[in-house]
Each structure stands twice: as C-alpha cells, then as structure tokens.
Structure 1
Amino acid sequence: MGLPLHLPAHGRGRGLSPALQRLLRQRPGSWDLPELPEFGGPLIDSGAVAEAQRRCAHQLGAGAVWFGVNGASGLLQAALLALAPPGSRVLLPRNLHRSLLHACVLGQVRPLLYDLPFDPATGLWRPPSPAHLAAVLKAAGPVAALVLVSPSYQGQRSDLPALVALAHGHGLPVLVDQAHGLGEALAAGADLVVLSGQKAGGGLAQSAALLLQGQRVDPAAVARALLWLQTSSPSALLLASAEATLQELTSPGGRRRRRRAEQIGERLRRRCELAGLPLLASDDPLRLVLHTAALGINGLDADAWLLERGVIAELPEPGVLTFCLGLGPPVGVVWRLPRQLKRLRRALGGHPLPPFSPPPLPLVAEPELPIGEAWRAPAEAVPLAAAAGRIAAEPLCPYPPGIPLLVPGERIDPARAVWLQHQARLWPGQIADTVRVVAGSGADGSACADGFACADGFACADGSPRSGGA
C-alpha cells in the first residue's frame, strides 16, 4: 500500500470537510448548478452564496469574503489588480507565486522584486525579518502595495504583525498569500488575504477564498477585478468547497479534526528525530521537511527513490523534501515513513552536501524591460552558458511551486548566468540547459528592445534608476 503525502490536504478524501462529504454523496451532478436566483454567485448580492460569504466573513472577523473557483492563483491576481492601477509599482517577494507575474502582465503593473534572507544549508529563502523589510521599504521608493508570502511552502511563518505594521506605517496596503496558511494574516492586520481550499484546508483543488478587512482597499475595486478574471459560470461544487473550508477553520468540529491530525504529525516528528533523521523546523505540524542535504542526498534523488517504493512526497528541492500529512494522515504513517526514510539514508546517504549559493541579487530590483513587453517580444533560446547580458523572455520555474528563479524582463548579468548554470545541475530534469531571451538583447547592453543603452540589469531603458537596489 502506498503512502500518499501530498496535496490536496484532504488526503484523497480522508480529510474532506464533512459538509463536502455529504454533498459528494448525493446523486452525481445534482450539485452542478448555475447561478439560479436562490443560489447566486460570488459577485451577486443575494442568494445562498452571498449569504455564505457574509456568514464566513463574520466568523473570521473579515469585512468581506469572496469565494473563488480558479484556485488561490486567480484570487491573488484579482487582489493585486485591485491594489495597483496600471503603471504603478508593487513590492513582490522573490518567493512569489508566478500567478502574480501574470497579474502584472494583465494589469500593466510594474513588479519591484525584493530579495529575501537565504539559508545556505537548505537552499531555501527564509521569512524576512522586520529589519530586512525596513531596508526593503527604504530602498524601494514609491510603491502601491506590498505582497508577503506566509507561511512558506515548507510551513515557515513570518512575523506578520510586525511586518504588516511596518508596511502600514509607510502607508502601504498589504496582500498576504496564505495559500498554505489558516487566515492568521487577518488577525495580523493584513488588508487582503488569499486562502486555498486544498493546501491547508479540507476542500477541493481550485477552491479558494479572498478576505478583506479595513479601509485601505475599496471592496468595489476587488469586485471589479474578480469580474475581470473569474468565470461567469462558477462551479457550485467549488463554491461549496470554499465555504466548507472556511467553516472548518472556525467550527469546533473542524478544530478537533485538525488537532487530531496535528497530534499525528507531532508523533511522526518525534519518531523521526529519535531515528536521527534531520528535519527542518516548521510552524506547521502537518508539514514534515526532511533536510536531505544533511544526509548527502539531493532532494530530487530522494524523491525518485521513495516514489519507486510508493512514498509520494509533495515537494522535492535540491536540499529538502517536503511531505504534507494533510487533515487525514495515512494510516500507519508514524512508523511507515520513518522506516522508509532510514532505508533511504542507508541506500543514498553520504557526506553532507556543500552549502548552497544564494542567488546574486540586489535587495530590490525592477526588470529592465516591462514584464509584458519582454514576455511578448520575439525570443530565442540560448545556452545558459551564453545567456550573460541577455534579457529573459520567460520565467524560469522549476516544478511544482511555480516560484521563478528568473523573471521576464530581467537582464542576466554574468554572476546570475553562472548561478543559473549551477541551478540547472541541482535540478536535474527540471531546468533546461537553455533559456529563452529577448531576440536582439545584446550582451553589452546596447540592444534593448526600445533602443536605449542599459549597462546593468536593474536600470530603466532611459538610464534612470528603477530601484534603490543595494
């Protein structure tokens, strides 16, 4: 019997919300309804959906809630478009989900990417400290909004109250990507929060929710952005899944079910630690992150070895392997997983891997070409070894989280080109040995698409600085 430890968090149905389970036991298709007057939809003021959204907003302490059927990705895009008018700049973390880049293209928004602390032992970005964010805000100059990601894919949380207060002190609204969280960003004061039904709750894939509070963001602007981006025929099943997920967060029964799953996660962690297996600290008891680099194993190799033995992890990376227990952890996981991990150590383990190199990035940087212009421009594929001086035409995102190592419009300086070549070796099969660049973008900075000279990767085409990058 296999050991599925991946998303969705309902664990192939074991942890589905009881309300959703009851719905799915009904005659197949009976729940597939259009926006009938008594049912309504996310942008209709009357009907069952509107009532459910108002009820969830009250239970969560939000000013408004919108259900989404295009996953957290679609709601992140709508939230960003509600915050940032065309031509404005927004501060986006380097560990952003690529859907926010898509929103920048659609809304003609200028992404100002800020670097994050880096852990050389694991190869992971760390959550920003208040001091780090203060330096970012000082370097950024005028921006329309700040985006934070917390918790990370590996379950590491930022000090959201301090970070949000810092941004508000600069007059900035804050959007928090909490696809892997439980809505705690709302209590921290965030203006917009995006939750995923499938990543941390008992809902189905593609169900999500967008939460608003306070006066910094106009609800009408959010509704308008949702109208632009969401389907006019939302799935009634996914809307019900979004409601069920939020109800699980606040109901006594939902809290009990989560606590039972967390207790299993805590027992699993103790058993792994007793076996001498190196684990990363995590703020989420339902995320177990094996530090494969400490065992001398690339996380992608560890994942391939475990897959052959029926253990399906959620996220392999060069230095770590993340397992998601979900709300219905597999039977026997507390002893079955440590046993397989000990076998992995015996089969592939060795001396710890050398430290990972941080990406050579400034503290803040705006792509040299507008992201939409670079993405639409005629492009050519060049070897990574020959990419220095060229402008990226596409994002470079190893599967699966969609976190880009390279953003369209960025000029690849020599240090970045070398780093990307090294990343290709660390991500075998996930990063090609070529990269698509804007055709005619010269290595000497003399052939930008608009004809102006650009000596570095972080300046405007007319030569004026685009960021206060360090």
Structure 2
Amino acid sequence: MPGAGGADGDGSAAGAGGAGAAGDHIHPRQPTAPYFDAVLAYGLRGSGRFHVPGHKGGSGADPALRHALGDRALALDVPQDIHGIDLGTSPTPYEQAEALAAEAHGAARTFFLTNGATQGNHALMLALAPLGTRVVCQRNSHASIVDGLVLSGGLPTFVHPEVDDALGMAHGVTPDGLRAALTATPDAAAAFVVSPTYYGMCADIAGLAEVAHAAGVPLVVDQSWGPHFGFHPDVPASALQLDADAVLTSTHKIAGSLTQSAMLHLSASGRVDAEAVARAMRLVRSTSPSSLLMASLDAARRQLAVHGEALLHETLAVVDRTRTKLAATAGLRVLGPELVGRPGIAAWDPLRIVLDVRETGRSGYDVAEALRGAYDGNVELATAATIVLVVGLAESAVALDRVAGDLDETVGRIARHGDARGPVVRPPAAPPSETVVPPREAFLGPAEQVPIADAIGRVSCESIAGYPPGIPALLPGERVTAPVVAYLQAILAGGARLHGASDPQLQTIHVLRT
C-alpha cells in the first residue's frame, strides 16, 4: 500500500492551505471520499473473494458477530492490494484519500494511521531520533513517545510543562522552557511537544516553532486532542497553521472516525523528511491494515472539510449553554477561557468541559463514580480535583442537556459543602529522577521484578505516570528514588491510577538486573 498521499485526483500536489484548515475555500474534490467509495463499491458488488480475510465478507463469520456488526460492515472488511482501491493507476483511491486529507489540513503530506497517533509517534522517533540521536521531549508526552525512543534508540532531554499546583493539571511547555532545553542540548535533532492537553489547554505553538527553528530543529506537535483545530474560528488554530513541522491528529477522538484511526501531517517546510518518515512507517504498520479504519478516516475528513464549520458552530452553541447550566451547580467551577494567558496556556478548546469539583468536598473520582452509578454517565477523565467531558464534532444537544442535569442531581446528592478539598499531591521537583542508561537499554535489558522498597537506587525498566497530573514520574533508564516512590504511593492512596505500571498497586516494579 502506498505510504502517503502526494497528489490529488487531478495529479496536482496537495500543499498547504487546505479546505478546512486554511478556511479559504473548499476544493471541488473535498466532498468526495475516494477510498471509502472504492471500498464500498468492491464490498457490495458481489466480487469473488478468494483472498483473506477468512470470513469472506461475512458469510464465514460467527452468526452472533454478523448480527452485532451487520453484514455491511463485514462486507467492507477487505485486505490491502485490491485492484481499484490501493492498486492500479496512480493516483489510486488510497493515494487520493491521503492527498485530500493533506489538503484539508493544510499539510504537504498526510499519512493515514490505523494504530492511532501511537503509530505516528513511533515512526517519527524512528525517522528523527535514530540510535544515539538526542531529542528534546515534553516530559508529559504520550507514552508512545517513550516507546518510540525504545524502538529507535534515541536519547531524550526532557522539558517540563507548566503545572497548576492546586488542580494538578499539567499545561503546555513555554517557549522559554523549550529554549533552555535546546540550549542545554545543542546536538538535539528535533523537539516534541503536546498541544492541546487532555484538558484542552493549548501551548504557544507559534512561539515554540520560532524557538525550535532558531535552534535548527523541527517542531513536532502531538495535537491528538485537536483534530478539529483550524476548522472553525472559535476553536484554536491548527499547529500546522502556526508553523509546526509535523502534527499528529487523533481523528477518532473528536472528528468521527473509528477508534484507533488517526493521521500524521507533515508541513511543506522540509524540516521533516517525508521519505524517511514513510520508510519508518513501514516498520510500524501492519501488512493487513483495516480498510474499515482507513475508510472511516476518508469519510471523517470529508465531513470535517465540507461540514465541519457548520457542525462545530451548532455544537459550540450547545456547549456554551451546557457550561452555563453547570456553572449554576453549587460546588462546580467550570474551567476554560479564564485560564488563557497563564504560563503554558495560549488558547483553549471549548470542546472540552473541565469541571473543578473541589468545592463539593468530594474528589473527581467520587463524582464520576456517582454519575456512572446513578445515570450510566461516563466521563473521559476523573482526577482528584476535576472531571473532564469530551465533546464530539457533532455532539447531541439532548445528551449534553441530560448530563448537565445528571451532574447537578449527582453533586446535590453527594456533596459535602464546607469541606472543600485542598491542593492535589505535587510531583517531586524536576528533575524527578536521574537518567542512568538510555530508555532502549533499560527496557530491553535483563530485568527482574522486585518489591518497591528494594527498588530504591535501582534502574527502572518501566514508565510510570500518575493521573493527575499525567507527568511520568519514572521512565525506563531512570534511577528509582525514595521521593518518587513516596509521590506515587501518595497519589495512589488518594484515588489516582498509575499508567504504565506493571503492578498497578506499586507493590513491585521491574528494574535492571545487577
């Protein structure tokens, strides 16, 4: 299967200034979905299927699976290398689909990802941080960044985000913070940052790009939580519009594609070698990518490019009404635009409803559990101090009205007013741990599982982050210290979860064998 779209249906290059991201026009082909249409045509026309998958378009599938998914979904589950879909005269429907996605997002080249933004981070690390190469990474980056370093053998220098001590929320990296990290790492080959955060807070990407480019390195932005950025004037601009060189967008999180599907966009700057990324992509891509996932990306791109602004306009109006209702609930504080301007926050995404619950006298875990138990309402994230609701591109007004009422009833029932909770447990002062060996050597080296008390002074083979605030307290190759263990135990006792720990209760940990 071709690695990326490089030309649209009439053979012209898919360059910057896309239909949605640039907002200037809609290309005549944006209302089409060439890959989706080609899969649909093959799947439903009754072709002889003497190839994988073995369910043969559904006839060989378990009857319960057929009933649950429907014959149409199974009929569209086709392999790669089907003539007229991803084989044949170039540009094939697959190439056209990636090219249209590049145009819509204002990219020079776009890759469809069927293993989430994780796949893109792995490929970028392999391309930009090969064995022994040093890169600067935001400390609270997604776990796939560290996993990518394990795969590539790259060496990280970490730059810490700004942190709200009271709420335990990690925000973005500041340009000054990135400048200091790059100055301390003159041989860095790239800078990796996150924007927006889980909470919808955006870093100063334009300022970060200026700093990175002045240091001679590309800026890579994990914009997984902002696939809709740039498609409406009241949501933040896309990082591509703000001069980032590579941008990841998890289309499935907000913009309507199927779970596990995402996109990687490269700018026209040339600071990231598209062919090197395509080569690395082949290492981290299945030889049996899901046509359902890729077709959903093609269709989601079409909807975002053609109808995204209108859908967002309607959704934002409902979100504003919901925020007003929630603000009237005693004990809840609705967070958002008032935080813009604080260190690490240059913009805010209104498709994230973030609620400070401390004045209820209960934790975010308590509120989320009570909401789920009474109303089967499930939030995206609960922390000691907050809960986070993620809103989709075309969110149901009925659903938002309902959850506002359900939260009002829930808080009224469980609140302990007058017993406001204090600040959350703060991570140890940076740097939290001493890096002893490269992440790759630690992760792949000889390991043993030991009681946590016996791990002090040993080298961790694990990556462990506590939520909140989501900043890894320990990474492969770092020395386990008493303050780090005490911090992880304290947040665990407070109801937080430990991401990445082989033992979620932190009774044991894997360390390098001595």
TM above 0.5, one fold? yes
Partner of 1:28: 73
Partner of 1:353: 421
Q: Deviations over 1:19-38 (max 9, x none)?
A: 77996998333322232232
Partner of 2:366: 301
Call closer, same or farther: CA 1:402–1:233 in 2, change over 3 Å: farther
Q: Secondary structure at the match of 2:212?
A: helix
Instruction: Supply the distance in 1 between the matched residues of 2:143 and 2:311 (Cα, whole angstroms).
Output: 32
Native 8 Å contact 1:271 1:334 kept in 2: no
Aligned match for 1:267, one of 321, 325, 346? 321
1:382 and 2:428 are equivalent in the alignment: no
Q: Secondary structure at the match of 1:113?
A: strand
Q: Which moved more, 1:106-115 or 1:241-250?
A: 241-250
Aligned match for 2:355, one of 264, 282, 290? 290
Q: 1:32-111 to 2 correspondence within 5 Å?
A: 32-34=77-79, 35-40=81-86, 46-111=91-156
Partner of 1:215: 270
Call closer, same or farther: CA 1:248–1:162 in 2, change over 3 Å: farther
What displacement does 1:118 show?
A: 1.1
Native 8 Å contact 2:193 2:220 kept in 1: yes
1:434 and 2:507 are equivalent in the alignment: yes
What displacement does 1:208 show?
A: 1.0
- Give the aligned residue type for 1:198: H
Partner of 1:200: 254
Q: Deviations over 1:197-250 (max 9, x none)?
A: 211211111111111111111111011011111011221221111222333332
Instruction: Supply the distance in 2 between the matched residues of 1:230 and 1:312 (Cα, whole angstroms).
Output: 32
Native 8 Å contact 2:127 2:280 kept in 1: yes
Q: Deviations over 1:284-342 (max 9, x none)?
A: 22211111234332222222111102111111122211111213434534443233323
Instruction: Supply the distance in 2 between the matched residues of 1:429 and 1:186 (Cα, whole angstroms).
Output: 33
Q: Secondary structure at the match of 1:28?
A: helix
Native 8 Å contact 2:129 2:149 kept in 1: no
Partner of 2:3: none
Q: 1:409-428 to 2 correspondence within 5 Å?
A: 409-427=477-495
- Give the aligned residue type for 1:379: E
Partner of 2:461: 393
Call closer, same or farther: CA 1:258–1:409 in 2, change over 3 Å: same
Q: Secondary structure at the match of 1:312?
A: coil
Call closer, same or farther: CA 1:381–1:259 in 2, change over 3 Å: farther
Native 8 Å contact 2:383 2:468 kept in 1: no
Q: Which moved more, 1:85-94 or 1:349-358?
A: 349-358
Aligned match for 2:160, one of 115, 140, 164? 115
Native 8 Å contact 1:68 1:209 kept in 2: yes
Native 8 Å contact 2:182 2:188 kept in 1: no
Q: Which moved more, 1:314-323 or 1:420-429?
A: 420-429
Instruction: Supply the distance in 1 between the matched residues of 2:495 and 2:277 (Cα, whole angstroms).
Output: 38
- Give the aligned residue type for 1:407: L
What displacement does 1:426 show?
A: 2.3
Q: Which moved more, 1:67-76 or 1:295-304?
A: 295-304
Unaligned runs of 5+ in 1: 1-16, 441-448, 450-470
Call closer, same or farther: CA 1:433–1:219 in 2, change over 3 Å: closer
Partner of 2:187: 142
Q: 1:303-382 to 2 correspondence within 5 Å?
A: 303-309=368-374, 310-346=376-412, 347-350=414-417, 351-362=419-430, 367-376=435-444, 377-382=446-451
What displacement does 1:168 show?
A: 0.7
Native 8 Å contact 2:206 2:243 kept in 1: yes
Q: Secondary structure at the match of 1:66?
A: strand
Instruction: Supply the distance in 1 between the matched residues of 2:351 and 2:183 (Cα, whole angstroms).
Output: 36
Instruction: Supply the distance in 1 between the matched residues of 2:434 and 2:211 (Cα, whole angstroms).
Output: 22
Q: Which moved more, 1:427-436 or 1:67-76?
A: 427-436
Partner of 1:454: none
Instruction: Supply the distance in 1 between the matched residues of 2:486 and 2:174 (Cα, whole angstroms).
Output: 28
Native 8 Å contact 1:300 1:317 kept in 2: yes
Instruction: Supply the distance in 1 between the matched residues of 2:496 and 2:248 (Cα, whole angstroms).
Output: 32
Partner of 1:11: none
Call closer, same or farther: CA 1:439–1:209 in 2, change over 3 Å: closer
What displacement does 1:349 show?
A: 3.3
Q: Secondary structure at the match of 1:226?
A: helix
- Give the aligned residue type for 1:218: D
Name which structure has the greater RCO, CA cutoff 8 Å, separation 6+: 1
Call closer, same or farther: CA 1:353–1:269 in 2, change over 3 Å: same
Call closer, same or farther: CA 1:410–1:325 in 2, change over 3 Å: same
Native 8 Å contact 1:179 1:200 kept in 2: no
Partner of 1:177: 222
Call closer, same or farther: CA 1:405–1:301 in 2, change over 3 Å: farther
Call closer, same or farther: CA 1:101–1:290 in 2, change over 3 Å: same
Native 8 Å contact 1:110 1:366 kept in 2: no
Aligned match for 2:196, one of 151, 155, 172? 151
Native 8 Å contact 1:156 1:284 kept in 2: yes
Native 8 Å contact 1:297 1:349 kept in 2: yes
Partner of 2:472: 404
Instruction: Supply the distance in 2 between the matched residues of 1:193 and 1:364 (Cα, whole angstroms).
Output: 28
Native 8 Å contact 2:315 2:393 kept in 1: yes
Instruction: Supply the distance in 2 between the matched residues of 1:354 and 1:114 (Cα, whole angstroms).
Output: 27
Call closer, same or farther: CA 1:18–1:258 in 2, change over 3 Å: farther
Instruction: Supply the distance in 2 between the matched residues of 1:424 and 1:27 (Cα, whole angstroms).
Output: 45
- Give the aligned residue type for 2:171: R
Partner of 2:289: 234
